[in-house]
A and B are shown apart, each in its own frame.
Chain A
């Protein structure tokens, strides 16, 4: 139980009156001090009684999404709380999702005993909501209590791993969910071309002959079994994003071209830091184009300012060489970040998609302008898988280029 400034004011006056009564032997001052003390004690008792009555009568009905809940997928949580009416008590309720969930705490505050918010679960398994955070207050006191009784926490839910997400095959298509039991990447027998070396390229692919001839490092671009057909990655834009229509139009053209030339297209749909769908060797053009739409704005950002490991390594080396202002703490954090072996659900899904798709070239269509962490993670995955990455942005989007990984080639739509 915490006190408010009102309680502080009353206490000060009580102490002053008590000291005066002792100093001046004044019964009137004693009366004032006793009155204010009794007032505070009575109000404290009343506040606790009211809070206990409210908390005891609190019941919560909670529904989590529609259908199975998967790791990394944004899920809408609908909460309805019923409680007895307690006049004179200010109440604020905040839902408490499982500790392993990512959510916006401001959204989880329930207006008028009910509300909706979005949450992402990042660990599979059986999880339970922690209950409700009950904050009550009046003029003199306030308190915070976690109501975790069965009436507030609700039943446990099962979060399925992201890999178990099932994409329905479209009519007329035998592609979609078939898992290929292949390891490694078909590197191809020949070389499709050469290009200048970029940071992050595999050193074994450097063509030393050309490098010596031109004085610049060149790398070979090998052909693969799937030819030069790219894996198309579309970052579905939110309504109102500059260049959203251009991105969708360009992605649609690319998909149409692939289906026309190759007879199929492999498409990966993402929304910021979440994978929405993955269509492997899909032949139904209509089904693919039907997937391209604006996404619902999602305020939950599971990723935040993730930089490419290359950039982090460069910073660490700059610190170690003394080119940056030396900060041992920053250097330690960078080392720990570079050493971390765990990957986010998004990274795992991207890695899985690239491994399965086999395409040598990955083309990302995006209109992201503020948060490009997911693009940097895609770049890191492409480098690990030795894919050639191209990021295509609308001309209107200029801001993220400076934050992007140095590995991909950036083109304007």
Chain B
């Protein structure tokens, strides 16, 4: 665990948390506090430290930009992809396009509840489809076992 890498976002999160206690604080600060707090918890759990926190920081910035104006927030998403997906070109292009297009969905449908419901349902459907594909592939490749 890279405790030094956790220390800086932890300090930022603590400061933002203290600021959020002041009456009349904007929702952006609350988001910052919660996302960075979740990032620190996630980093401690996964052991990834800085990488996980960078993802959280990227999302915090994207949400912060999106709170002011949605378009910059959406356009910032590919920057997060670059950090998350590493150097593999195919993976990078696919991830950049999917993350930007999905985030751009908010520009078309501006109803939060509807979007969250759609997100949940689509996630479940895609996960089930991928699990089915995975099982079928496993069966096909494992066919014809020996003694």
B-binding residues in A (CB < 8 A): 1, 5-6, 8-10, 12-13, 16-18, 20-22, 24-39, 41-46, 48, 51-52, 55-56, 87-88, 98-99, 127-131, 134, 138-139, 143, 145-150, 153, 156
Contacts and interface: CB of A to CB of B under 8 A. Distances in A.
B75 to A, nearest CB: 10
B98 to A, nearest CB: 4
Contacts of A9: 39, 42-43, 46, 48, 51-52, 55
Given A28-B70, A32-B59, A32-B103, A42 B144 contact: no
14 contacts: A1-B131, A5-B45, A20-B30, A30-B115, A38-B99, A87-B88, A129-B146, A138-B91, A139-B84, A139-B86, A145-B141, A147-B142, A148-B142, A148-B143
B145 A16 contact: no
A314 to B, nearest CB: 40
Interface of B: 27, 30-31, 34-35, 38-39, 41-43, 45-48, 51-52, 55-56, 59, 62-67, 70, 73-74, 77, 80-81, 84-86, 88, 90-91, 94-95, 98-106, 110, 112-113, 115-116, 119, 122-123, 126-127, 130-131, 133-134, 137-138, 141-147
Does more than half of chain A's interface fall in helix, strand or loop, or is it mixed? Answer: helix
Contacts, number: 219
Contact of A17 (B59, B100, B138): B59
Nearest to B105: A34
Given A13-B39, A20-B31, 17 more contacts: A5-B46, A5-B48, A13-B38, A16-B35, A16-B38, A17-B59, A27-B110, A28-B66, A30-B106, A31-B63, A37-B123, A42-B94, A48-B134, A130-B146, A139-B84, A148-B142, A149-B144
Contacts of A29: 31, 63, 66
B81 to A, nearest CB: 7
A8 B126 CA distance: 17
Nearest to A143: B134
A2 to B, nearest CB: 10
A88 B88 contact: yes
A130 B141 CA distance: 12
